[in-house]
Amino acid sequence: MGEEVLSTRALGRATLARQLLLGRHELPVPEAIGRLAGMQAQEPGPPYLGLWARLEDFDEAELAQAIVSRQVVRATLMRGTLHLLPATDFVRLRSSVAPAVGEGMLRVLGKRAEGLDVAELVEQGRSLFDDADALSAKQLRDALAERHPEADVRALAAVVRTQIPLVRVPDGGRWGFTPKAPFTDAERWLGEPLRKSADREELVRRYLGAFGPATARDAEAWAGVGGLGEVFEGLRSELEAFRDERGRELFDLPGAPRPSEDVEAPVRLLPEFDNLVLAHADRTRVIADSHRTNLTTKNLRVRATVLVDGAVAAFWRMEKKATVVVEPLRRLKAGERKAIEAEAEALAAFAEPGAKKRAVRFY
């Protein structure tokens, strides 16, 4: 076990450094997304806001072009959720999480999936995508209903979407995709085959590069993949080991950024579903356990957050007429409130460039 003990605050600073949140960076969009080990994209907009918070002079057209040119893909990956990922990373990493994604959906469906011949259904799904360039969710359900008129076609479609490597096709809209954006076969879209064998060591390395130092359990929470403890053990000779304040063993890549816990962390407004607050089993490095219970809403939306001094100090939302509403989780100092107002005003200008009036309101 490593001798050096890393405080919770030090762990937070290390993660903020890797998540590009100790200062805005000048990076090409695909490279930035790769450094972040992907960005959760349950909805199209949040990754744009997440990159705005991290990159200097972020131009949303650059991300839109990266998606259209197929340098970046939007596909189901970690935790069975939609992510933006560089195409090169998707090709290499999809096989490492694919079994967990497929099995996870079958568990969610429960009795609705009982008796399904998954292998046969996958073959049918592949044939449907072979016959069409892309299919919307409705088109997929309708096609499956023709073959299985008495079946629960929503369940069948869910199995197909999670068992077959698919990507969302950009179809317009402010953020590149409409809510009904169609799916297509990933290998056809990218013009190359995906890696067939799982490289879980690479998965762990990419995780630590973006979120370390961390435990195996943290990595499993991020990936939605179990059994990574043995992968960490296999990599032990290649990794550095530490302890946290509770005595738990942490691992990290040699030479990875671990700035002093005294390094200044600027105020940042992060969007819904941001991986910073989702990528660890123990998230106290960025959000207190007492606030974590309110992070996810009843309809499973992950709330947008405000970072102050490196930790979540408020939630925020955008209301009509470009008003940013801030909901503090603790008493804010005058300087903190002023910094939040400035960042929120800048965010509103980016998110709603055509608005005649913008405002920031503390709830």
**278-300 pLDDT per residue, tens:** 999 999 999 999 999 999 998 88
Q: Does the pLDDT of residue 328 top 50, yes or no?
A: yes
DSSP 78: G
Which residue's entry shows tokens 């997440």?
50
| Maximum alpha-carbon separation in the chain | 64
Q: Report the Cα 300 to chain-centroid distance in Å.
A: 14
Mean of the per-residue pLDDT values for the chain? Answer: 95
Q: Give, for 308, the enclosing helix (H) or strand (E).
A: strand 304-308
Confidence of residue 267 (pLDDT cuts 50, 70, 90): very high
User: Is the pLDDT assigned to residue 186 strictly greater than 70?
Assistant: yes
pLDDT at 322 over 80: yes
SS3 343: helix
Tell whether the torsion through CA atoms of 10, 307, 254 and 243 is positive or negative.
Answer: positive
Query: What is the average per-residue pLDDT within 54-78?
Result: 97
* Dihedral angle sign, alpha carbons of residues 339, 343, 349, 355: negative
Which ranges in 182-314 belong to alpha helices (H)? 186-190, 200-211, 216-223, 229-234, 289-292
Residue type, 21: L
Banded pLDDT at 8 (limits 50, 70, 90) = very high
User: What local confidence, expressed as pLDDT, does residue 298 receive?
Assistant: 85
Beta bridge partners, 308, equal 311
- How many CA atoms are closer than 13 Å to the CA of 74, on its beta-carbon side? 28
Confidence of residue 43 (pLDDT cuts 50, 70, 90): very high
Query: Tens digits of per-residue pLDDT, 153-179?
Result: 999 999 999 999 999 999 988 899 998
Please answer whether residues 12 and 285 qualify as being in contact, where contact means their C-beta atoms are separated by less than 8 angstroms: yes
CB–CB of 279/221 below 8 Å?
yes
Q: Are strands 359-362 and 323-328 parallel, antiparallel or unpaired?
A: parallel
Helix (H, G, I), strand (E, B) or coil at 314: strand
For 272, phi and psi rounded to 5 degrees? -55, 150
Asked if residue 127 lies in contact with residue 120, where contact means CB atoms within 8 angstroms, the answer is: no
The upper half-sphere exposure of residue 71, i.e. CA atoms within 13 Å in the direction of its Cβ, equals: 13
pLDDT at 1 over 70: no
Sequence-distant (≥ 6) Cβ neighbours of residue 190 within 8 angstroms: 70, 73, 87, 90, 91, 167
CA 317 to chain centre: 19
Strand bridging mode 304-308 / 82-86? unpaired
Backbone angles phi, psi at 132, to 5 degrees: -135, 145
How far is 328 from 174, CA to CA, in rounded Å?
29
Which percentage of the chain shows pLDDT scores above 90? 93
- Spans of all domains in the chain: 36-190, 287-362
Looking at the predicted structure, is the pLDDT value of residue 305 above 50? yes
